[in-house]
Copies of this chain bind each other. A is one copy, B any other.
Amino acid sequence: MSRRILVINPNSNERVTADIACAVEGLRIVGGPAIDCVTLAEGPPGIETQVHVDTVVEPLLRLARRESNRASAVVIACFSDPGLYSLREALDIPVHGIAESGFAVALTKGERFGIISILGRSIPRHRRYVASLGLGARLAGDRADVLVLGCAGMARHRKALEHRLGIPVVDPVQAAVGLAQLTLQIDGA
């Protein structure tokens, strides 16, 4: 089987999946792995609450398990990284969360990063996650040297924001797909 990165949008909004596909378009490599963006039909229309985050894991896991023998890596394209540790535990292939990947890339681009969140209530959830990753000292309270887009469907605003703000802006979907490719390349190297 040729290699394939499966990018799963865990909400059921096809338009977000289209945005995600658009975001990773420029990352496709000739001869490299296919990048397929799919929608989790059983997902909620948007992942906006902790309940959404937690309850989407089960259908996400089912989809990932069903597809896993036809995938070389999985990217979970939601900024809450729902099910990241479950999928890592359940699958034998690399699993990338877009928030974790976004942070990893942001670390190499500036001293402290910020997160643009759509909903205020996501902030404590993001902060807990950053703390669990041991990255609290790099999360900026107010002024940031680099921004991470806190949502899977914002890539089309990345360049404009970067231009307007004059600081690096990281789209987490691109970060995750890129890291997935990189991991596959390194494994095959």
Contacts and interface: CB of A to CB of B under 8 A. Distances in A.
Contact of A134 (B135, B174, B183): B135
Contact of A29 (B29, B54, B133, B135): B29
The oligomer's copy count stands at 6
A44 interface: no
Interface range for A:
35 or more
A27 B32 CA distance: 10
Interface string A95-111: 01000110111011001
Given A141-B141, A178-B185, 19 more contacts: A23-B189, A26-B185, A26-B189, A27-B185, A27-B186, A30-B32, A50-B86, A54-B54, A54-B83, A55-B58, A55-B61, A101-B108, A104-B105, A124-B145, A128-B133, A131-B134, A133-B138, A134-B137, A135-B135
